[in-house]
Amino acid sequence: MGDTGMDTDVVIAGAGPTGLMLACELRLAGADVVVVERLTERTGESRAGGMHSRTLEVLDQRGVLDRFLAVGELQPVGHFSGLWLDFDESESRHPYPLMILQSAIERLLEEWAAELGVRVRWSSGVSGIRQDEAGVEVELGTADAAPAQLRARYLVGCDGGRSTVRKLSGIDFPGTPATMTALIGDVELPDLPEEYVWARRCPGGDFSAIAFEAGWHRVITSEYDRVPDRDEPATFEQLRESLVRLAGTDFGMRGPRWISRFGDAARQAAQYRDGRVLLAGDAAHIHFPAGGQGLNLGVQDAVNLGWKLASVVRGRAPESLLDTYHAERHPVGERVLHNTRAQAALARPGVQMDALRDVFGSLIVFDDVNRYLRGMLTALDIRYPVGCDHPLAGRRVPDADLKTPDGATGVHELLHTARPLLLDLRGSTEVATAAEGWTDRVDLVEARSEDDHWPVPAGGDIPAPTALLIRPDGHVAWAAAAGGAPDTTTLRTALTTWFGPASQG
Ligand SMILES: Cc1cc2nc3c(=O)[nH]c(=O)nc-3n(C[C@H](O)[C@H](O)[C@H](O)COP(=O)(O)OP(=O)(O)OC[C@H]3O[C@@H](n4cnc5c(N)ncnc54)[C@H](O)[C@@H]3O)c2cc1C
């Protein structure tokens, strides 16, 4: 990094899905980044089993979704605490969960990161942090690597639920402790009846077996009578015994590939930023993995933070832009903790809970209830407070079909470069004139919408806007409604707020 005394712009602790996605976003936006990872190499642990619509969209916005679709399997339905949710094609181009193991997600993200020039340093766990006015010193060391130091403008802790970065920064992690324990294993189950998802509630808890790949299943048993110490290792024998207690048989279980344990502890970092240190992903929030939201939440934290942090390190936006990361993402994380607590409660055993599930199950078939819950689980309904009252403002932009002078495209395709986008859908000179001071960092594209109305998940159809300012994360910063001239004063305010002051001359 020349004579700045910095080794890089940003150090990211942790090469999990969040850290890798953030590294890609920072590189796309022109920042230099080093990822430091405590492990010596990938473990290949399967862990998370899927991605939801909004995560699929953010990968599509970068033009890399096909790599994930080629490996994963589309699912026809999702669920809320095991109660089925339908998806609606009008809400997204990707109205389905994609079943894909976390090990594959990490491999694909790592390949993409390497293409973008991201450097990953293995065997390099963060062990110390010192912030000053200009940067942060990051101490690295593990049992098998000599201690080293890196100096960067910012450090982002993407180092998982037990985040060292969070602890070293003294950021509180309030929440609720575990009240149950679940064992999980990827195993062969030769005696299981041939059904794709097999789940059953029992007096002491519940179990499920999901066929992930030919010949092997993911088995999960949940029991409520004891919460083991979280450092106690999970074993194949414990999983087998738990399944026998619940199901009365182990279905011939053998050949474990991976065994682990999780619970319903739910905690969230009190601040996502402390000066030059930020937190993202599980380092910022942990919760019961119901509905498969954790990895998605982390990847979307990364997409929210990446362009903002790159703008700040490149001197294009004031540091205060980083505070919008906490302001926008903390409430989203809070809502996930809330809905996973509700799902954990609904999963508890007992006749009262059976009755509550029965009532909840009869409500979930109503369209409005289904739409509300799927908006929440897919994260398609997120709306950030961006200070504009158009119905699209703050929401993720729908991937509407467009016609441009260069041919047909979709809005999300125009976001592949990860640059801010000003879409003029009316051919009005006012929009181009108002944006003159920002053309060095905002792409102005003239296009026509192929549709008169655009779908807004959980918001119904709205008339197609006549102009839109879209942030690199795909959220609408400003929009102009049909029927009237665009308000260029609010457009200029939005351009300044999100992308810094206008260039002179
Ligand atoms: C059983 C189970 C099932 C799940 N299913 C789903 C699902 O279907 N869908 C979903 O969205 N989510 C699911 N999740 C949640 C998901 O696995 C996590 O939310 C996700 O892994 C978080 O990614 P991350 O990158 O933030 O953290 P992690 O994946 O934990 O990565 C953190 C990385 O940081 C490294 N690290 C740790 N300490 C240091 C240090 N000091 N210095 C440097 N590096 C360090 C770690 O080695 C690790 O590589 C599931 C979780 C579990 C346990």
Q: For 318-355, give the DSSP string.
A: -GGGGHHHHHHHHHHHHHHHHHHHHHHHHT--SHHHHH
**What's the CA gap between 241 and 94, in Å, rounded?**
40
Provide mean pLDDT across the span 241-263. Answer: 94
pLDDT tens, position by position, 327-349? 999 999 999 999 999 999 999 99
Per-residue pLDDT at 148 exceeds 80: yes
Contact 219, 205 (CB under 8 A): no
Q: Are 90 and 25 members of one domain?
A: yes
Is residue 106 within 6 Å of ligand 1 at its C-beta?
no
The residue to mutate among 43, 47, 156, 218, having the most atoms of ligand 1 within 8 angstroms of its beta carbon, is 47
Contact 129, 277 (CB under 8 A): yes
Q: What is the pLDDT of residue 168?
A: 98
Contact 296, 379 (CB under 8 A): yes
pLDDT tens, position by position, 52-86? 999 999 999 999 999 999 999 999 888 999 999 98
Residue 1 maps to a domain: no
Residue 91 maps to a domain: yes
| Residue, of 210 and 329, whose pLDDT is higher | 329
Q: How would DSSP label each residue in 118-134? A: -EEESS--EEEEEE-SS
Q: What is the pLDDT of residue 183?
A: 96
pLDDT tens, position by position, 85-131? 988 888 999 999 999 999 999 999 999 999 999 999 999 999 999 99
Q: How would DSSP label each residue in 252-310? A: T-EEEEEEEEEE--EEE-S-SEETTEEE-GGGTEE---TTS-HHHHHHHHHHHHHHHHH
What mean pLDDT, rounded, does the chain reach?
A: 93
- Of 263, 288, 316, the one marking the end of a domain is 263
Which is nearest to 261 in space by CA: 211, 226, 285? 226
**What's the CA gap between 473 and 22, in Å, rounded?**
12
CATH of the domain at 337: 3.50.50.60
Residue 395 maps to a domain: no
**What's the CA gap between 246 and 342, in Å, rounded?**
23
What's the CA-to-centroid distance between 162 and ligand 1, angstroms? 10
Is residue 264 within 6 Å of ligand 1 at its C-beta?
no
CATH of the domain at 424: 3.40.30.120
Neighbours of 302 (CB within 10 A): 29
pLDDT tens, position by position, 166-190? 999 999 999 999 999 999 999 999 8
Q: Are 430 and 455 members of one domain?
A: yes
The phi, psi pair for 221, rounded to 5°, reads -120, 135
- If one counts the domains in the chain, the total is 3
Question: Is residue 499 within a helix (H) or strand (E), and if so which, with residue range?
Answer: helix 488-499
Q: Are 69 and 166 members of one domain?
A: yes
Q: Are 205 and 254 members of one domain?
A: yes
Which is nearest to 180 in space by CA: 205, 162, 198? 205
Is residue 125 within 6 Å of ligand 1 at its C-beta?
yes
Q: Which is the closest atom of ligand 1 to the Cα of 39?
A: 47
Provide mean pLDDT across the span 376-396. Answer: 95
Per-residue pLDDT at 3 exceeds 60: no
CATH of the domain at 224: 3.30.70.2450
Provide mean pLDDT across the span 246-261. Answer: 93
- Of 263, 290, 305, the one marking the end of a domain is 263
- Of 219, 247, 263, the one marking the end of a domain is 263
The single-letter DSSP state of residue 393 is T
**307 contacts: CB under 8 Å, gap ≥ 6:** 25, 29, 418, 420, 471, 472, 473
**Structural domain that includes position 25:** 8-175+267-378
Q: What is the dihedral of CA 458, 460, 462, 468, to 10 degrees?
A: 20
**386 contacts: CB under 8 Å, gap ≥ 6:** 393, 394, 475, 476, 477, 478, 494
Q: Are 252 and 308 members of one domain?
A: no
Q: Which is the closest atom of ligand 1 to the Cα of 36?
A: 43
Q: What is the dihedral of CA 161, 164, 168, 169, to 10 degrees?
A: -50
Q: CA angle, corner 341, sides to 340 and 342, nearest 5?
A: 85
Q: What is the dihedral of CA 344, 346, 350, 351, to 10 degrees?
A: 180
The residue to mutate among 34, 295, 300, 337, having the most atoms of ligand 1 within 8 angstroms of its beta carbon, is 295
pLDDT tens, position by position, 438-486? 999 999 999 999 999 999 887 789 999 999 999 999 999 999 998 878 9
Q: Which is the closest atom of ligand 1 to the Cα of 301?
A: 26
Q: Are 272 and 165 members of one domain?
A: yes
The residue to mutate among 142, 159, 184, 212, having the most atoms of ligand 1 within 8 angstroms of its beta carbon, is 159
